[in-house]
Amino acid sequence: MNLIFRRTHLYLGMLLIPWMFVYAFSSFMLNHGPTFRQYRSAADAYELLWEKDYETGIPQNQKELRTWAGAVLEEHGVDTVRPLVNRNSEQVLITAQRFLRPIRVSYRFSDGKLRAEQREASFFESMLRLHFRHGYGEGSVMQWIWAFLVDLVCVLFIIWVVTGLYLWWKMAHTRNWGWVAIGAGFLSFIGIYIAL
């Protein structure tokens, strides 16, 4: 049993390296936004893919607008796992989310133009997209797979912690300092949680 727990803890730690890095690094970026903003692509860092005349009626409510946006993307061969759509007085903007190079498709009311642009690749932005992508029920197999992987990683993190606690408890000479570490972790977390 000890060997099973040691091997489980060891190989889970190795398996979780990229996932730990993504969440740790992206959280660090969020915490130091002004520092990392200079390394992200500019707001207008888009490359034109195509532009064409397009006649369409625009739905008024958000649910129908999302359905319309999905149909527009499918009609023009733009794959996405979870399109975002926004409308203002001048245009409808559809964002085809991707970790590396998202595509935005805009429809301007003034001239009836449908325009597709792709964002420049950015390591820093892709880390943030990995951090925030979540959720089931978006009608996409790839979105479901991503959500399932995130759930699986969360479960594996818990198993990693439990196996670590088991191994610590089996080494009697480390128990005192272990209790100190556990206590310090909980006290610091609870203190910040209550204070903020």
Per residue of the chain (196 residues), what is the pLDDT tens digit? 889 999 999 999 999 999 999 999 999 999 999 999 888 888 889 999 999 999 888 888 888 888 888 889 888 888 876 788 989 888 999 998 888 899 999 999 888 899 999 999 999 999 999 998 888 866 678 888 889 999 999 999 999 999 999 999 999 999 999 999 999 999 999 999 999 8
Q: Are 93 and 106 in contact (CB under 8 A)?
A: yes
**Residue ranges with strand state E in the chain:** 46-53, 84-87, 91-96, 103-108, 113-119
* pTM attached to this predicted model: 0.79
Question: What are the C-alpha distances in Å from 99 to residues 43, 123, 147, 165?
Answer: 16, 9, 14, 35
Provide the 3-class DSSP secondary structure of residue 111: coil
